[in-house]
Structure 1
Amino acid sequence: MASPAQQLPPGWAAEWDPANQRYLFIETASGHRQWEPPAMVPAAPADLVTSGSPPPTHHAKRRQYAAGQTHAYYGDAVAPDPNYGAMQPPPPAGGQLFTPGLAAENQFAQQQQPPQPYYGQQQPAPEYGNVPAYGPGPTAVGGGAVNALTDQFGQMGMGGQKQFQLYTTNLLTSPPDPRELLQPPPEIRLPPNACISPSPHANAHPSYQRSTLNAIPTTSSLLNKAKVPLGLILTPYRSLDEGEEPVPVVTDTVIARCRRCRTYINPYVQFIDGGNRWRCCMCNMSNEVPQLFDWDQVRNQPGDRWSRAELNHAVVEFVAPTEYMVRPPQPAVYVFLIDVSHAAVQSGMVATATRTILENLDRIPDEDGRTKISIICYDTSLYFFSIPPGSADSTMLVVADVEDVFLPKPTDLLVNLVECRQSLETLLGRINGMFQDNMTVGSAMGPALQAGFKLMSHIGGKITVLSSSLPSVGQGALKNREDSKILGTSKESGLLQAASPFYKTFAIECSRAQVSVDMFLFSAAYQDVASLACLPHYTSGQTYYYPGFNAAKSEDAIKFAREFGDVLAMPIMLEAVMRVRASRGLRMASFHGNFFVRSTDLLAMPAVPQDQSYAIEIQIEETITTPFVVLQTAVLHTTCYGERRIRVITLALPTTSNLSEVFASADQVAIATLLANKAVERSLTHKLEDSRDHIFAKLVEVLTTYKTSMTAAGSGASAQLAISENLKMLPVLVLGLLKNVGIRQSAQIPPDIRAYSQALLTSLPSQLLIPYIYPNFYSLHNMPPDAGTVGEQGVIMPPPLPLTSERMERHGLYLIEDGQTMFLWIGRDAVPQLVADVFGLPNYEALRGGKTTLPVIDTPISQRISAVIQKTREMRRGVYYPHLYIVKEDGEQPLRLWALSALVQDRADVLPSYQQFIQTLKDKVGGV
C-alpha cells in the first residue's frame, strides 16, 4: 500500500481501495459522506482502513464482523465482490449476530406480492368474448385488441435504475378499455442496492399506500411542467382478504428511529460502521443501532438481524413501550344513541338496530374482556339505562331537560360487556317494545350527543348515532333548508356546508377527548346529511345513509343489518395520531379525509375504522439530489384489544429529471382518487361549478403538456389527442367523476344524496372509489362458459364491458354496479326462457322492476348469475352491501334513468358522451 501524503482530519473516516490507490468514500465527522471523492483527496493514512478490513471507528465497537461483510453496507460505492450475493458467507467462528442478506440486484419492487387483480376482480379474458346463449340469433363479437403502442421515447434517469418505457396512445382511436383498470400501477424501479432486503414485501403494496407518480421529479419546476398532481393515497388500516398474511408485529419493543427526523428504521436505511450504526434514508443522519436490536428476547440468545420484520417488510407494527403512552391503553367503548321517535319506530329502524346489536354482541371486539357499552335512547327527551353489575335487569332513567344535559346517575350507565351481558341482552330485546306506541315527533340528537360525550370523554371510544329525523330540539337543532329553486345554481354549494357551527365545534371537542362518531341516517325526508356528516368527518368516523328506509322491505332490513353488524365487528384503532414523513425536499402540503389536523402535519384520529382512505398532496420544496426518496406513514394507536402499537408503512420511489419518465410512472387510479378529494373540497370552499371546472382544467393541462413536450406535433395542430398508455383511462375516470352524483351538474339531485356521495368520495379507498366513479358493466345472457363458476381464485367474473348502451342488445340481460348499488337491466325482447330460468316467471311482461332479491332457481344460468352477484357484493373491502334493482327497458322512467346514468360514456341530459368529451378536450388542447 502506498504511503499516504497526509492524514485525514480528526473524526473523519474513509474506505481505501489499494488496487486503484484511491478512496471509495470520505465521511466527515458530522456524518456527511462524499462518494467517489475527487483526485485531490489525500491518500489513505497508514492507520486507516486497508483492503479487507472493517471500516474505521472513533469509538469502542460493540460488534466486529468478518472481512468483506462491510460491502453489504456501502452499496454501489464499494468495489463489488464478484462472489458476493451468490450465497451467504459462512458464519465466523463462534457464530455471528446477523448475516447480511443483500441481493446484488434489488428486484423487490417488481415482485411485491403474487400478482392479483385490482379492485377484487378476476383477471379479464383477452378479448370481449360474447358467447351466444339466450337471444334471437348470433351475437357479433365486440371490442377488439388494444391499439398498437406508439411513440416510444428514449429514456434517461437518475441512479442507474431500469428506466420507465413511455408509450403514447391516441385517445381518438383508443376507446376506454375497462380491463386497464384491473392492471397494477406502473412498476416502481428503484436503483440497485437501494434496499437492504431481498424481500418481495420491502416496498408498500398499493392497497396500503400509493403515489400518483412512481418516479418523483427532482425539481418543482419539472413537476410544474408535467402538470400531473403529486400526492399520496393512504389506507393505513385496510382489511385483509382471505389468505392474506397479517401485518407482522415486532413485539420486543426495540424501536430504532432517526435522532433528527424521527424516521423509523426500514428496508431503505444503510448500515455503516461495521453494522454498529445506521444511516437514515431520509435525512442522512448517522444513528446508533439499539443494543438489543440483534438480540432474540424470546430465546434469550443472539438473533439474526436480517430476519427482523422492520428490515424486510414495508408495512409493520411495533408494540410500543411506555414512552409512547400518555396514559395506559384504554378499553374499547361503544355508546349507542338510538332515535326512538315515532318515525324511527314506525320504519322498523329501532327493531332492526337493537336486534342487530343483540345478534352481534359476540362479534364486538373484546379480546381482553374490558370493552364497555352504553345505550341511550332519545326523541325529544333522553332515556338512560342503568345496569348494575351482576343484575339481570335494567332501570330506565328519563331526562326531559335537554337544554342543560346531565347524567342522571354517575355509575352503571357505561357497563362492562362481559359482566353485564345478560342484562344487555334483556334490554336490547325490550327497547322496541318500550317505544312501540311512542307518538313523539322530534329529535334531541344534539343533547344525546352531549350526554354520550359526558359518559365516555374520560376514556374515549366510539359513539354510534342512529337517527331517523332531522335534529329539532336543543343544541344542534336544524331546519329544513332543502330548496328546489337553488338546486343547480351557484347557491347550491351552501346546502353542502354545515348549517350549524355546533357539529364542527362538538366534533373537535370529541377529537380532543379521543371520541369518534359514526352516523347511521334513515330519514325518508330531508335530514341535512351535510351538517351531520361533519361529526364523522372531523372524528375519523364514517357516515352511512339509508334514504327511505323501511324494514318491512326485507332488502332494506338485510342491507342495514349486514352493514351495521360488520361495523360492530370491525376492529378499530383507538387514540390514534398519524404523521407522514418524507425525504428531504418533499413536504406534505394539504390533507384530505376524515380527521382533524392537530398541528401542521399531525392528524388526530380518535378511532380509525378499517378501509378508510386519506389523500395528501405533496410539494417539492428544493431540488432532490438522491437517486430515490422515501415516504413513511406512522400511525400511533391503541388496538381495540388494549395494546399500544405503531403501524409504519414505508414507500420508496425513484427520482428522475426526465419528463418522459414522470409521465410513464403516473398512476391513473391514484390521480383519480386525489382529484375526487380535491373536487369535493373545492365544491365546499368555492362552488360546484368551480369544482367541475377545476378538475377538467387539470386534465386539459396534463394533455397539453404531453402534446407539447412528448409528441412530434409539439405546439402545432395535430390530428391526435395523445397521452401515455398508462394514463389512457384518466379522461374517462375524470368524466365519471364529473358525472358522479357528488359534483354532477343537475337541478334534480337532493342535497342529502349529494352530501352523502361527497362523504363517500373523500373516504373510500381506491379499490372502492374507482368503480364508484366508473362502474362495472357485464353482459350476463351470453357470458363465457366459465363465468359464474368457481375457479382457482373463487367465482370467475364475466369480462367487463365499456360503459355505453351501444353494448346493449334488446334481448339481453346486463349487470351494472358501482359498489353501492347494482342494477339488473333486462331488454324488452328478452326471450321467455331466459326470464323463466333467471326469475322463475313465464315472460318479460310478468316481471316487475324495483328493489329485489333474486329467487333461488335450480338452473345453471340462475346459479351462475347468483354467484356473480354474490361475488360482486363480497369482492371488495368495506362493509357495503349494495341493493339489487331489476330495471326493465320499458319500465319506470326514474329507475331507468338512474341505471342509465351509470353508463358514463353515454350522453345524459346536459352531460356529454365520452366521444363529445374527448372532442372537447381535443379542441382545448389543439388550441394551444
Structure 2
Amino acid sequence: MASPVPPGVPRPGNPPPNFNPSVQRTPDSLADNMQNLQINRPPTMPNALGPRPAPFGSPLYPAPASSAHPASVFPGASPVMPNPPGTRPAPFTTAPSAAPPVSFPGASPVSRPGPPPAGFPRAGPPPTTPPQASVTPNVPSGRPSGPPFAQPPPFGTRPPSNAFPSASLTTGPVAPPSSAQGPVSTIPPSNVLGPISNGPPVFTSGALPGGPRFPSIGSTQQPPVGPPPSLVQNRASQPPNMRPFAGSLAAIAPPASSSQPVPPFSAASQGIPPPSASPYGAQTWQMQPRQVAPPIPGATQPPRMYGMPPPPNQPMTGVPPAMGHLPVAGAPLGGTSKIDPNQIPRPIPNSSVILYETRQGNQANLPPPATSDYIVKDTGNCSPRYMRCTINQIPCTGDLLSTSSMQLALMVQPLALPHPSEEPIQVVDFGEGGPVRCSRCKGYINPFMKFIDQGRRFICNLCGFTDETPRDYHCNLGPDGRRRDADERPELCRGTVEFVATKEYMVRDPMPAVFFFLVDVSMNAIQTGATAAACSAINQVISDLPEGPRTMVGIATFDSTIHFYNLKRALQQPLMLIVPDIQDVYTPLQTDVIVQLSECRQHLEQLLENVPTMFQNNRVAESAFGAAIKAAFLAMKTTGGKLLVFQSVLPSVGIGALSAREAEGRTNTSAGEKEAHKLLQPADKTLKTMAIEFAEYQVCVDVFITTQTYVDIASVSVVPRTTGGQVYYYYPFSVLSDSAKLYNDLRWNVTRPQGFEAVMRVRCSQGLQVQEYYGNFCKHIPTDVDLPGIDCDKTIMVTLKHDDKFQEGAECAFQCALLYTTVYGQRRIRVTTLSLPCTSVLSNLFRTADLDTQFACFLKQAANEIPTTPLLQVREQMTNLCINILHSYRKFCATVSSSGQLILPEALKLLPLYTLALVKSIGLRTDGRIDDRSYWITRVASLSTHLAVPLVYPRMIAIDNLISEEYDGSLIPPTKPLSSEHLSEDGIYLLENGEDGLLYVGNAVNPDILRQLFGSSSIDEIPMQLVLQQYDNPLSKKLNDAVNEIRRQRCSYLRLRLCKKGDPSGVLFLSNMVEDKTPSGLSYVEFLVHIHRQIQTKMA
C-alpha cells in the first residue's frame, strides 16, 4: 500500500488534484466535440506506445480471487461453442466530422469536454496569447478519444478540409454585420423572451469576428502530456492575478455568413459503422451560415401577453375566434368555431444566435428559450443550461403560487455542455482548508453572499446566517459595498464555479476507470446480427478509451450461462471461464477478469472479432440477464465503474427472470384500459434490489436493447434508472439501419463529459424548501441524490414548495452542489447558483414564466404518473393543468377582455399546443406497444429541457424543394405545422423528434426527385430500411447536410425510416400530425375551443 501523500500534493505518476484536462496547454491541442469541449482526450495519440499519465489517483487494491468454474481454452474449447473461430464479419462503416467553435473576444484558449459520437465538429488551436495566471477553465470530465491523424474518415468522403477558412483573433472594434448576415439578437435587460424554435440549441457554426474562425482540418492536434496550469489559490488575502471575463456582449460581432457548420455523427453512407481499421477520422462538412441579429440599443418594451394590460400605445392581443363566436359551455364541438387555423399560436422558428447576459444592473434577466441557440455571459447567475426555473420571479407566498396554478420547479443539468463561445467554468483551489461555506446551512460561497463589517463577516444568502470570514480570505470592501477583489475571484462573480475537493470530501481514494462490456449471445441475438453489431461497436470504441495504467476493462458474454474471459497478456489467447450457476452467481478469477487496457488490448480485439463466429450455431434461446449483470457487478464491486450491457431478448432464466407479460402484438386496449398501466410497473422487486446494491458500490449500468421482440423494458429499465445510467432502444433491430446508431451511441456514452461517485444536493433560500427530486439516481437520505454516474445529458427535476413568506423586492437563491470524481480521478465540487427576484404581483408570474421548463415539468410529471394511473386519468390531469393555468390568468390578469375571446399569456401561448401534443404522444396513447411506452417513460425521466418539446411536437420540414426555396442560408429549411393540411401528394417530408427521423414520400412525387434522393425513380423500389446515401447532385447533398445538422443539434445519431402513404409506415407518420383530429383526440382548433369552454365554465 502506498504511503500517505499530503493533501494537494500530486501523487506519483498521476495528475495533481488541480489538473484540469480541459486546458489546451499548447497550440497542438485538439477539441474533439461539437461544443469544443476538451475533456476525454488522451494525453498522447490513442495508438501511441509511450506511457501516459495515470488518470486516477490511487493504486487499485486487488480483489481476492474467487473460485473458477472449469475453464476451456478460448476460442474453441467451450462446451457450448464447438466451432473454431472464424473470420470477423464484414465491418460496418459510418463517419465523423469536424467543426470549430466561436468564442468571446479575448477569451483564453481553452478546450472542452470530449467528443460526441463520431462526426462532431472539432476545434482548432486557440490564438496564441501570453501565459496568464488565471483560473483554469473547467469542464466536466470525460474520456480521451479521437483517431490518429493517419486514420481515414470512417463514414466516407466529404468536402475537403479547405472548406473551413482560418481566421485570426481580432481584438479591435467590431465591424457591423454584412449584408449577407442576419442581425445579432441580444437579450435586453427587460424581460423579453425570444421567439420559440422547434429545435434545441444549435451551436453556431460560423465564427464571430471577435474570435478565431474554424481552422482547416489539418490543424487539429492532440494535447501533449504536461503539467497542468496553475489554479487560482484562494488562500492568500491578496487577489489572484486572474483574467476577468473578456469582452462584453456589445463587443461580440456576428458570425461571418461564409462560415458553415458541420454535422455531428457523419454518415456519408448511413447505417454502416466504420471499418475496424478506421473507427474515427476527421471529416469536413459544409458549415451552416448562422444568422445573428444586431444588438438592440437601450431598453425594450416588455413582451406582449395575450390579455395582459398592454404598455402605452400597444393593443391587447389574443386568439380571437371573431368576438363572441367561440362556442360557449355545452356547445357541440362539431360546430364551426370561427377560429382561423392560420392565426392560432404555433412555434416560430428562429435561426438567430441570442447573446444573453445572466444579470444586468444587479437584476436577473429572463433566459432565452431552451430550444433557441444562445451564447451566455455569466455575470453572477448561472447559465440556464445548468439550471432553469419554471418561473423567473418567485412568488412571495405559497397562496400566490397556488392562485397561478403553475408549477415551481428547477431543471438542473449540472454537467451540461456549454456553447463553444462561452467562457469556460473556472476551477478554484482553496487548498487544504477547502472552499468557504456557511457554518449553518453549509451553502458554498457565491456572488450573492453579502460581506459586512469591512469584509470581516458575511451574510449567507441561503439561510441568512452571519458568519466570520476566514482570516486568509479577508479583503476590504469598496465604496459600493462589494469586496475589492470580487471581480477577480470566480466564486464571487460567476454563477457556476468548480472547487477542488479536499480529503474530507472523500470516503475513499478515487478508483480506476472501469468499463465492463456484457454481450448477449443467445440464439436470437446471433441470428439478428445484434451480437456482431455490438462486438463491432465495442471494438471500435476501445480506441476512444485512454491506455493509461488506471483504465481497466473487462468483457463477458451470456445466454443461459455466463462466460467470462481471462485477458491477461501472459496468455497466448483469451481464456473462457464459464459460470453455469445462474441462481447463486459468482465471479471466477476476479483479478484476471478486469485488467488494464494497455495489457489486454490485443486479446480484447481478438476476442471481439471471434465472438460472433464462436456462437454462430448457438441454439440456446434463454437469457440470464439478471444473473449476468449480478456476476459482472461482483467483478466490479471493489472499484465501481460503468457496466455496458447489450441485451436482445426477454430475461427468462436465473436471477430476475421475467415472463412475457405482453403477448407479441397485444395492445394496451386489448389488455384493458384500467389494467394496462400495471404492465408499465416492474414485474417484481428483484432487479430493483440488485440496482440499489449496484448504486451503493458506485456501479453505473447502461443497457443497449437490440431486439425484435418484447423484452419488458418496464422491469429491465429499473437497473439503469437507479444507477444513473441510460436505456438505448433499437426496435425492431436491423443490422443494416441500426448498426451505425449503435456505434455512435456507444462512442458518445464513453466519451461524453461525465463524472462518477457523485452526490448532489439543491439548497434554496429560507422560505422555500425542496419537495422532491425526479430523475435517474438512487436516494438514501431525503436531502441528497446518489449518482454512481452522471453525464452532460442527464437532467434532474427538483420541485419546490413554500414554508415561509418572502418580502417584495427580495431575492430567492437556489444552489446546486455536485460532488463528483472526474475521469482523471480528481474530486471536484461543481457549484451552480441562481438568484431570482420575488414578487407579490400575479401578473409578473405569468410574464416571467418559462414555457420550455414548465412543459418539461408537465412531461416528467406525466411520465411519473403513467405506471400507476390509468391513461385516461393521466390525460385529464395534463389537460387540467393547462386549463387551470390559463383560467387563473384569464380570471386575475385579463379581466377587461371579452368573454368570447380565448386569452393566452404571451409567455405561455404555446402551452395548449404542447399539452395537446403530450396527450397524443406515445406515452399517453392507448394503441402502442407496452415496451414503446415503457421506453418513452424511461427516456423522459432524465430528458434535458431543450429536448422536451421536440419529443412530443417533432420538427417537420419539406425536403423535395430544398434547392428551389431560400431559407436564410440555414442547412435546415423552415418547419411546417404538424397538420396533414400542410402535406402534399407530390412532396417529401422529414419529421424528427431528436432520436428518430421519418421520411414521408407522397404518391405523386416527381420520379426525377426520387432518383436524385434515393437512387430510384419508383417509390416501390426504395427499401423500407432506409440507408441514406449521398449522390452526386445538389438535392442529395442538401438532404444529407440537413440530416447531419439535425444530428449535430440533437447530439444523437438520427435513425431514418421510410414512410409510404397507404401502408403502416404511412400511418405511423400521420400519427405525428398532432394538430389533426383523430378518432380518440381533438384537433388543435377543437382543443382550443375545449379549453375556452372549460375556462368559461370555471369563470361562471
TM-score higher than 0.5 here?
yes
- Partner residue of 1:913 out of 1057, 1073, 1083: 1083
Residue 581 of structure 1 is matched in structure 2 by 763
Residue 837 of structure 1 is matched in structure 2 by 1012
- Partner residue of 2:834 out of 651, 657, 666: 651
- Partner residue of 1:207 out of 385, 392, 395: 385
Higher relative contact order, chain-length normalized (CA < 8 Å, sep 6+): 2
* Alpha-carbon separation, structure 1, partners of 2:403 and 2:825: 49
- Partner residue of 2:959 out of 769, 777, 780: 780
Correspondence 1:472 to 2:655? no
Residue 533 of structure 1 is matched in structure 2 by 717
Residue 748 of structure 2 is matched in structure 1 by 566
- Partner residue of 1:523 out of 707, 713, 730: 707
**Are the aligned partners of 1:682 and 1:690 in contact in 2 as well (CA < 8 Å)?**
no
TM-score when normalising by structure 1: 0.78
Correspondence 1:399 to 2:579? yes
- Partner residue of 1:708 out of 891, 900, 903: 891
**Are the aligned partners of 1:707 and 1:713 in contact in 2 as well (CA < 8 Å)?**
no
State the Cα distance separating 1:347 from its structure 2 match: 1.4
Structure 1 residues 183, 511: CA separation in 2 closer, same or farther (over 3 Å shift)?
farther
Correspondence 1:178 to 2:347? yes
**Are the aligned partners of 2:852 and 2:948 in contact in 1 as well (CA < 8 Å)?**
no
* Alpha-carbon separation, structure 2, partners of 1:782 and 1:530: 42
Correspondence 1:502 to 2:686? yes
Q: Give a deviation string over 1:121-179, Cα, whole Å, max 9, x none.
A: 997999xxxxxxxxxxxxxxxxxxxx986644379xxxxxxx9x997532756423222
- Partner residue of 1:895 out of 1065, 1070, 1083: 1065
**Are the aligned partners of 2:359 and 2:379 in contact in 1 as well (CA < 8 Å)?**
no
Correspondence 1:753 to 2:932? yes
Residue 217 of structure 1 is matched in structure 2 by 395
Residue 542 of structure 1 is matched in structure 2 by 726
SS in 2 for 1:851: coil
**Are the aligned partners of 1:201 and 1:312 in contact in 2 as well (CA < 8 Å)?**
yes
Structure index of larger Rg:
1
- Partner residue of 1:426 out of 602, 606, 618: 606
Residue 805 of structure 1 is matched in structure 2 by 980
* Alpha-carbon separation, structure 2, partners of 1:224 and 1:148: 24
- Partner residue of 1:631 out of 814, 817, 824: 814
* Alpha-carbon separation, structure 1, partners of 2:354 and 2:620: 55
TM-score when normalising by structure 2: 0.66
State the Cα distance separating 1:239 from its structure 2 match: 3.0
State the Cα distance separating 1:356 from its structure 2 match: 1.4
Q: Give 1:580's aligned amino acid.
A: V
Correspondence 1:620 to 2:802? yes
State the Cα distance separating 1:444 from its structure 2 match: 0.9
* Alpha-carbon separation, structure 1, partners of 2:837 and 2:587: 57
Correspondence 1:227 to 2:405? yes
SS in 2 for 1:684: coil
Q: Give a deviation string over 1:303-344, Cα, whole Å, max 9, x none.
A: 955322222322221111111111111112122221111111
Residue 871 of structure 2 is matched in structure 1 by 688
Correspondence 1:885 to 2:1057? yes
**Are the aligned partners of 2:386 and 2:412 in contact in 1 as well (CA < 8 Å)?**
yes
Residue 1032 of structure 2 is matched in structure 1 by 858
State how 1:708-727 maps to structure 2 within 5 Å.
Answer: 708-712=891-895, 718-727=899-908
Q: Give 2:954's aligned amino acid.
A: P
Q: Give 2:755's aligned amino acid.
A: M
- Partner residue of 1:258 out of 438, 442, 445: 438
State the Cα distance separating 1:723 from its structure 2 match: 1.4
- Partner residue of 1:317 out of 468, 481, 498: 498
Q: Give 1:274's aligned amino acid.
A: Q
Structure 1 residues 515, 318: CA separation in 2 closer, same or farther (over 3 Å shift)?
same
* Alpha-carbon separation, structure 2, partners of 1:780 and 1:549: 27
SS in 2 for 1:179: coil
Correspondence 1:514 to 2:727? no
* Alpha-carbon separation, structure 1, partners of 2:719 and 2:252: 37
**Are the aligned partners of 2:962 and 2:1038 in contact in 1 as well (CA < 8 Å)?**
no
SS in 2 for 1:635: strand
Q: Give a deviation string over 1:82-133, Cα, whole Å, max 9, x none.
A: xxxxxxxxxxxxx9934999x9xx9x9999999999x99997999xxxxxxx
Q: Give a deviation string over 1:729-772, Cα, whole Å, max 9, x none.
A: 1111111111110122x2x3110111001111222102222211
Gaps of 5+ in 2: 1-235, 256-260, 265-287, 294-302, 322-338, 365-375, 476-482
State the Cα distance separating 1:837 from its structure 2 match: 2.8
Q: Give 1:533's aligned amino acid.
A: S
Residue 699 of structure 1 is matched in structure 2 by 882
**Are the aligned partners of 2:305 and 2:904 in contact in 1 as well (CA < 8 Å)?**
no
**Are the aligned partners of 2:307 and 2:890 in contact in 1 as well (CA < 8 Å)?**
no
State how 1:85-164 maps to structure 2 within 5 Å.
Answer: 97-98=238-239, 151-153=307-309
SS in 1 for 2:621: coil
Residue 331 of structure 1 is matched in structure 2 by 512
Structure 1 residues 265, 373: CA separation in 2 closer, same or farther (over 3 Å shift)?
same
**Are the aligned partners of 2:407 and 2:854 in contact in 1 as well (CA < 8 Å)?**
yes
State the Cα distance separating 1:830 from its structure 2 match: 2.0
* Alpha-carbon separation, structure 1, partners of 2:512 and 2:529: 32
* Alpha-carbon separation, structure 1, partners of 2:440 and 2:743: 49
- Partner residue of 1:769 out of 948, 970, 985: 948
* Alpha-carbon separation, structure 1, partners of 2:1046 and 2:1020: 27
* Alpha-carbon separation, structure 2, partners of 1:846 and 1:446: 44
* Alpha-carbon separation, structure 2, partners of 1:148 and 1:602: 40
Residue 417 of structure 1 is matched in structure 2 by 597
* Alpha-carbon separation, structure 2, partners of 1:439 and 1:166: 74
**Are the aligned partners of 1:109 and 1:190 in contact in 2 as well (CA < 8 Å)?**
no
State the Cα distance separating 1:701 from its structure 2 match: 0.5
State how 1:181-200 maps to structure 2 within 5 Å.
Answer: 192-193=361-362, 200=378
- Partner residue of 1:306 out of 487, 495, 505: 487
* Alpha-carbon separation, structure 2, partners of 1:360 and 1:97: 47
Residue 46 of structure 1 is matched in structure 2 by none
Correspondence 1:674 to 2:857? yes
**Are the aligned partners of 2:518 and 2:558 in contact in 1 as well (CA < 8 Å)?**
yes
State the Cα distance separating 1:470 from its structure 2 match: 0.8
Structure 1 residues 706, 784: CA separation in 2 closer, same or farther (over 3 Å shift)?
farther
* Count of residue pairs brought into register by the alignment: 778
SS in 2 for 1:412: helix
Structure 1 residues 463, 283: CA separation in 2 closer, same or farther (over 3 Å shift)?
same
- Partner residue of 1:458 out of 638, 644, 662: 638
**Are the aligned partners of 1:812 and 1:830 in contact in 2 as well (CA < 8 Å)?**
yes
Q: Give 2:1043's aligned amino acid.
A: I
* Alpha-carbon separation, structure 1, partners of 2:525 and 2:1024: 24
SS in 2 for 1:361: helix
Correspondence 1:386 to 2:566? yes
**Are the aligned partners of 1:464 and 1:517 in contact in 2 as well (CA < 8 Å)?**
yes
State the Cα distance separating 1:595 from its structure 2 match: 0.8
* Alpha-carbon separation, structure 2, partners of 1:225 and 1:428: 61
**Are the aligned partners of 2:548 and 2:598 in contact in 1 as well (CA < 8 Å)?**
no
* Alpha-carbon separation, structure 1, partners of 2:467 and 2:651: 56
State how 1:783-794 maps to structure 2 within 5 Å.
Answer: 783=962
**Are the aligned partners of 1:376 and 1:383 in contact in 2 as well (CA < 8 Å)?**
yes
* Alpha-carbon separation, structure 1, partners of 2:914 and 2:445: 37
**Are the aligned partners of 2:308 and 2:893 in contact in 1 as well (CA < 8 Å)?**
no
What percent identity do the matched residue pairs reach?
33
* Alpha-carbon separation, structure 2, partners of 1:562 and 1:238: 19
* Alpha-carbon separation, structure 1, partners of 2:493 and 2:252: 13
State the Cα distance separating 1:457 from its structure 2 match: 1.4
